[in-house]
Amino acid sequence: MRFEDLRLSAPLLRAIRSAGYRTPTPIQCTAIPHVLAGRDVLGCAQTGTGKTAAFALPILQRLSNGPAHRAAPASRIRALILCPTRELAQQIHDSFRTYGQYTGVRQTVVYGGVNQNPQARALKAGVDVLIATPGRLLDLMGQRLVNLAGVEILVLDEGDRMLDMGFLPDMKRVFAQLPKQRQTLLFSATFSDEIRTLAATLLRNPISVQATPRNTTVEAVDQKCISIERTGKSALLAHLIKDNQWFQVLVFTRTKHGANRLAEYLGKHGVTALAIHGNKSQNARTRALADFKAGELQALVATDIAARGLDIEQLPHVVNFDLPHVPEDYVHRIGRTGRAGATGEAISLVCADDKPLLADIEKVIRREVPREIVAGFEPNPNERAEPIQRGRGGQQRAPQRQAPKREGNEQRRSGQAAAKKTSARPPHAERAAPPSRGEPRNTPRPAKARPADPQRARAAPASTAPRNDASSTVRTNIPGLAPPGHRRGR
């Protein structure tokens, strides 16, 4: 199928061409006609499948075409896109800007952690599309800077993550201000019972569209685990990065404190690294991300929430320094690599404590992740598993769906408990950062990465399963995606 076959308008086709897209992705092929037809859509799609264009293109077309556009008063928000994190909000904003550049549709983005004045000015000037994280949106609604009475289309992007982050009470307060008569699109990478309940209350006779089979691992990612002693992970990671001369490694830790500590360790061992998490100001996060994207940082150490929605072109390596408590987060994490047709590698460092988490993950992705041992970093076969502590709260690992997904020691409130406490909004990621400017970097910037020392004793991987073993590697090509190396629209 071609974009022209989707009956998109000439200004959109022009923008798609200048973004360098050649053919629509599967989720775009299936979702765009339904959204154009005004149907509610329940989309199962991870980031990296082209889902943003799947809703942005038809929304832009609906807003720029037809009688509603001409009739709309000058300052009426006509489409609201809600998403969980600032980074994702910014990316959606960038996408709308790219795709809508020849349409005349006005759009802006609002999220916390930054000065609200420019956002307020943009809103006063009038926007058709508003992209928002729930907390800042509610703040602006409270100040009567946002009126949602004219919203025709609501999009909830990464719905699963919004629920995981405890946004449901905030979301309900937003929904209460929306017209009942509207089109609603809900996108989620995973489909828990909570998401299904939300969909049942929000969507009317929805069409279900799916980019990937439920809870399977993203395409084109080579996955492996390296067994290692609990205390050896940092040294192993520094070794892997230097020995393989990796650049642009996204490393996941379980806690903010762990992210800071690891970035510092890497810095001291010759690897340029910074940590990003919810305690960092938005400016610090944006700067770290920009340095990482520019190739000035070898490693970005992140918690799940901070890394959510990052779109870094052809990120070659993702490392799970700690395995996530919730198996679906593994899918999200490795979705950072192998994006839009590129091939990526996801490596998990697994000690005795992580084994039950690995077993949970393998159940969810329905495959075994091959194990390796790196010579010189052999695991201690006598190491006993210890309960995994969660931040300062010291909680131990809990069963899968009850696990908190907030950063570090932040507690997740259950949906019901959270819904009862309507006065205090949860301390979520976008709220955690003080709106400070010029926050110092958490680690001194070490000198640029040196190439690996060839004299150094080599630690040859003693692979228990070959890396490209077809039986253990997911390598499904996404039809329609541009080949690696091609410039993408963000």
* Amino acid at the residue 370: P
186 binds ligand AMP, rule: CB under 6 A:
no
User: Rounded to an integer, what distance in angstroms lies between the CA atom of residue 464 and that of residue 223?
Assistant: 13
For the chain, give percent helix, strand, coil, nearest 5: 35, 15, 50
Q: Which is nearer to ligand AMP, 152 or 311 (CB)?
A: 311
Q: Which is nearer to ligand AMP, 101 or 472 (CB)?
A: 101
CB-wise, 45 or 284, nearer to ligand AMP? 45
Asked if 340 touches ligand AMP (CB under 6 A), the answer is: yes
| Residue pointed to by tokens 């990052």 | 310
Residue corresponding to tokens 């810095």: 267
Reduce the DSSP state of residue 257 to 3 states and report it: helix
Question: Which residue, 28 or 281, has its beta carbon nearer to ligand AMP?
Answer: 28
Part of the chain binding ligand AMP (CB under 6 A), chosen from 276-284, 381-389, 467-475, 480-488: 480-488
Closer to ligand AMP by CB, 99 or 252: give it.
Answer: 99
Least distance in angstroms from the C-beta of 341 to ligand AMP: 7
481 scored as a contact of ligand AMP (CB under 6 A): yes
Nearest Cα residue to 216 out of 45, 351, 353, 27: 45
Task: Say how many Å lie between the first and final Cα of the chain, rounded.
Answer: 23
| Residue 217 binds ligand AMP (CB under 6 A) | no
- The window from 141-149, 201-209, 241-249, 478-486 that contacts ligand AMP (CB under 6 A) reads 478-486
- Nearer of residues 92 and 202 to ligand AMP, judged by Cβ: 92
C-beta of 46: minimal distance to ligand AMP in Å? Answer: 7
Question: Which residues, in sequence order, are CB contacts of 108 under 8 Å at separation 6+?
Answer: 93, 119, 122, 123, 127, 129, 130, 131
By CB under 6 A, the residues from 284 to 323 that bind ligand AMP are 311
The footprint of ligand AMP on this chain (CB under 6 A) covers a number of residues equal to: 20
Nearest distance from C-beta of residue 279 to ligand AMP, angstroms: 26
Please state the closest distance from residue 108 (CB atom) to ligand AMP, in A.
Answer: 19
Residue 84 makes contact with ligand AMP by CB under 6 A: no
Instruction: Report the Cα 475 to chain-centroid distance in Å.
Output: 21
Is residue 155 within 8 A of residue 407, CB to CB? The reply is: no
CB of 44 closer than 8 Å to CB of 208: yes
- Residues, the chain, total? 490
* Nearest distance, CB of residue 15 and ligand AMP, angstroms: 11
Q: Closest CB to ligand AMP among 256 and 336?
A: 336
Tracing tokens 């720029």 back to the chain, one arrives at: 64
Task: Report the residue number, 90 or 442, with the smaller CB distance to ligand AMP.
Answer: 90
* Three-state secondary structure call for residue 35: helix
Nearest distance from C-beta of residue 335 to ligand AMP, angstroms? 9
3-state secondary structure of 458: coil
Q: Which is nearer to ligand AMP, 219 or 430 (CB)?
A: 219
For ligand AMP, the binding residue among 11, 12, 25, 360 (CB under 6 A) is 25
Residue 257 contacts by C-beta under 8 Å, 6 or more apart in sequence?
391, 408
Q: How many helices (H) and strands (E) does the chain have?
A: 18, 15
Q: Residue 169 or 480: which CB sits closer to ligand AMP?
A: 480
Amino acid letter, 186: L
Question: Is residue 26 involved in binding ligand AMP (CB under 6 A)?
Answer: no
440: left (phi over 0), alpha (psi -120 to 50) or beta: beta
* In the complex, minimum distance from the CB of residue 353 to ligand AMP, in angstroms, rounded to a whole number: 33
CB-CB contact of 107 with 130 (8 Å): yes
Q: Which span sits near ligand AMP by CB under 6 A: 41-49, 77-85, 180-188, 213-221?
A: 41-49
Touching ligand AMP, residues 358-387 (CB under 6 A): none
Q: Which is nearer to ligand AMP, 305 or 403 (CB)?
A: 305
SS3 395: strand
Instruction: Look up residue 248 and give its two tokens.
Output: 């642009």
The tokens of 207 are what? 């069409």
Quick note: the x/- pattern for ligand AMP over 43-72, rule CB under 6 A, is ----xxxxxxx-------------------
Non-local CB neighbours of 71 within 8 Å, separated by 6+ positions: none
Q: Specify the residue, 91 or 281, whose C-beta has the smaller distance to ligand AMP.
A: 91
Longest dimension (CA), the chain: 73
CB 488 to ligand AMP: min, Å: 4
Residue numbers at the binding site for ligand AMP (CB under 6 A): 21, 24-25, 28, 47-53, 311, 339-340, 480-482, 488-490
